[in-house]
Amino acid sequence: MSNVLLTGAAGNLGKVLRNKLAGQYDLLRLSDLGEMDPAGPGEETVQCDLGDAGAVMQLAKGMDAIIHLGGMSVENTFEVILNANIRGTYNIYEAARKNGVGRVIFASSNHAIGFHEREKRLDADAPLRPDSLYGVSKGFGEILAQYYFDKFGIETVSIRIGSSFAEPANRRMLATWLSFDDLASLVRRAIAADRVGCTVVYGASDNPEQWWDNSKAAFLGWQPRDSSAQFADDPKFRDEVNDPSDPAVRYQGGGFAAAGHFED
């Protein structure tokens, strides 16, 4: 696949992937609603509101694959989530269908299954149990991906991203941490694989504490190389005190599960 679109390119993970995917495709088209750094060799930058169906249709022209990171990345009001994450994701799939784009890598989230308790090990067939409106929007994206695969043959790898930061911020993230290198290698495998169907994969590094089972996506050939074990002896994690009945501790979604309903 020589022409790849990356939405959400001005966001934290968008910037990471832009850097790590640079020079690996004939064209990396970068899109965001916000300002982006100027295009480098083999890049194009296009500002686009994902809620604008016509603009997204133009955005996807000539693309072989779409890495869809764009949208609201945290909890917000329903109206914000509706436009950025629900309408925006629908527009991406419609643009893929009408432009003949065969594969989407969808940035889903652990918050689509965030109300499962931590001691329950989940695989790709675990029921959706979103912990937030944000999580609802990611569950919608996964269901939409299945529809577009079954009806139109558009393949998707939905990556239920755990916590992708330079390093874990709290003890929960020792289980959910996904290093930037492991994220980039997963995206590259999702693009390079001969066939992916409609697949869910959990985005977590090779951490000692494991909540998620990726055996049903093993055919992708992705092997995370990093581990949160390197951070485990940090006093800020070792000395952290948690109440086991706290929803942020009980449920896999952490603080999203514990937070109240986001209203206008």
Other CB atoms within a 10 A radius of the CB of residue 150 amount to 10
Distance between CA atoms of 177 and 208, rounded to whole angstroms?
11
Phi and psi, residue 188, nearest 5°: -60, -40
Residues 6+ away with beta carbon under 8 Å from 87: 50, 51
Distance between CA atoms of 212 and 31, rounded to whole angstroms?
31
82-95 b/e with 16+ CB inside 10 Å = b? bbbbbbbbbbbbbb
**11, 73 contact by CB (below 8 A):** yes
Three-state secondary structure call for residue 204 = coil
Distance between CA atoms of 42 and 10, rounded to whole angstroms?
17
* Catalytic residue list contains 147: no
**Options 25, 93, 134, 148, the catalytic residue:** 134
Catalytic positions, written as ranges? 134
